[in-house]
Amino acid sequence: MTTQTHRAERAIAAPPEACFDAWTDPAALALWLPPDGLRGEVRRLEARPGGAFTIVLTHVDGAEGGGKSTADSDVVDGIFVTLDRPGTLAFESRFDSEHAEFAGLMRMTWRFEAEPGGGTRARVTAEGVPPAIPRDVHEAGIAASLANLDSYLNPTPAP
């Protein structure tokens, strides 16, 4: 079974520390991580090397057949490998799935690098991505999460 590597990056108008902290705060993570059409629930988050996490992403429209773990959700269990505040956060995770095409260990690395003049360049690399996960869909999902992170850290003021 051949795995894949997927990538996405974005400039974020916030310092690297804020980006890193938004990843390690369960309430914040549940708000910004899910791409459009998904709702997040952080069931466990032990933000330390060797610490475990469980994140559930559920399709908000209740669409059947869209999930890898249940008919409408993805359950991701992972272990943090690296937490080097504010620059790097890496973890290994598996989808809770009965389907072999979604099985396997995936490693995601999130890098938050200070940009000259302010802000952060956020880079995400996913290695060992199961073959059934289409590159364009996954990279678009990661890019959407990065856009959500930028919006979360830079909310638009109400008129």
Place of tokens 């902290």: 21
Cβ count near 155 (within 10 Å): 7
Structural domains of the chain in order of their starting residue, each with its CATH number: 10-153 (3.30.530.20)
**Band of the pLDDT at 13, cuts 50, 70, 90?**
very high
Assess whether pLDDT exceeds 80 at residue 98.
no
DSSP 102: G
In the three-class reduction of DSSP (H, G, I as helix; E, B as strand; rest coil), residue 114 is classed as strand
The pLDDT tens digits for 19-51 are: 999 999 999 999 999 988 889 999 999 999 999
pLDDT score for 1: 59
pTM given for the model:
0.86
Question: Beta partners for 56?
Answer: 41, 75
Assess whether pLDDT exceeds 90 at residue 130.
no
